[in-house]
Amino acid sequence: MSQGEVKRLLEVTSNEKHKSALMLAYSCGLRVSEVAMMQVKDIDSERMVVVVHQGKGRKDRITLLSEKMLDQLRIYYKTYRPKVWLFENPLKDGPISGRTLQQVFRNSAKKAEIRSDATFHSLRHSFATHLLENGTDLRFIQELLGHSSSKTTEIYTHVSRASLSRITNPLDQL
């Protein structure tokens, strides 16, 4: 997805919980299961990072926390007051389901008139692609995505590399 498409997707998502979940997926490069299982304690606003526990391959990792994302999470938190799970299910007795998040994405994508082949996972791919386009070194993107092998991350190598000090979160550019 282009940055314009991501921006439209977020703009048409009026529900704060849904908007926050989509923004988190994009701004951190998260998988749908990682967004669903995110806990309130995993947001570290002091260090400006998001801790991903037991991602794919049962690996833990740290990814970026955007200033815009933190602002959005504060708006979301004031309304929903989640206890353990960042995005609780309607009964507030567990996390939101991945299926619900995928449906939220489909509904917003349709509203935003985004091409039909885009999926929730497109937010993760877009995060990586947009970082590369902004000059972020592939090694850093590999770490942020939690890829063990650079081969997995190399699908994004159609753009030049830069240093970690120049990383700009793509959400901050919307």
* Interior angle at CA 173, CA 155 and CA 48, nearest 5: 85
| Residue 112 is assigned to a structural domain of this protein | yes
- Per-residue pLDDT, 139: 80
Q: Is 56 a catalytic residue?
A: yes
Judge whether 39 lies within some domain: yes
**pLDDT averaged per 10 residues, the chain (length 174):** 94 97 96 96 95 75 93 96 96 96 97 91 90 81 72 54 59 85
Q: Is residue 173 part of a domain?
A: no
Number of domains comprising the chain: 1
Q: Is residue 145 a part of any domain in this protein?
A: no
The CATH number of whichever domain residue 105 belongs to comes to 1.10.443.10
Q: Residue 70 has what pLDDT?
A: 97
Q: What pLDDT does residue 144 have?
A: 79
This prediction's pTM: 0.83
> Residue 8 and residue 18: Cα distance in Å, rounded?
14
List the catalytic residue out of 31, 61, 76, 130.
31
Tell me the CA distances in angstroms from 141 to 54, 122, 125, 157, one per residue in order.
18, 16, 11, 11
Is 81 an active-site residue?
no
Question: For this structure, is 124 an active site residue?
Answer: yes
- At residue 64, what are phi and psi to the nearest 5 degrees? -75, 145
Question: Given this model, what pLDDT does residue 159 score?
Answer: 39
